Amino acid sequence: MLRESVVCAACIGFLGCGSSEPKSPLVLGGAAANPLPGIRTLTESQTRTLQNVVTSAGERCGSIELAYLRELDTVAGVESWEVRCPEAPYAVVIRADGAPGTVQRCMGSSFDASPCVDPFARGPRNRTPGALNPDLGKLLEPMKAKDGKTD
């Protein structure tokens, strides 16, 4: 009986020594040595965390093939990621306050830099602007009333 009490007390003491703060849902834990965007080599735990965010949003992700840190906002407690899973690439936003992560499927990139293509980013344009179509140029002229009257 005394032995069981000692074992029970030891178990309770052991469990009570743990941290009372909840574990951060952020992959990098709110701090990173390199906050700049780029490809990251993650630990197994970090990879699982990121994969769980994707799958808990109802998307399929068997594994993380590439993880790209898009943005790290330590003040607001937000991490923005782009990940490439075998099933599809995703843009992922994780918040430190425990709010559900935002996961959005994106267009895949054929480059190894970023798993997602920004459809609005365009390379330098090689064409110089030409003359306006004369019919369209009329639209840019100020409007004038035929009889000289205005409202």
Has this prediction a pTM greater than 0.75? Answer: no
Phi first, then psi: give them for residue 28, nearest 5 degrees.
-90, 0
E strand or H helix that includes residue 84: strand 78-84
Calpha distance 108→114 (Å, rounded): 9
Q: Which two tokens stand for residue 33?
A: 């040595």
Kindly report the average pLDDT of the chain as a whole number: 73
E strand or H helix that includes residue 73: strand 66-73
pLDDT digits (tens, 9 = 90+) for 53-89: 999 999 999 999 999 999 988 888 899 999 999 999 9
Encode 119-134: b = buried (16+ Cβ within 10 Å), e = exposed: eeeeeeeeeeeeeeee
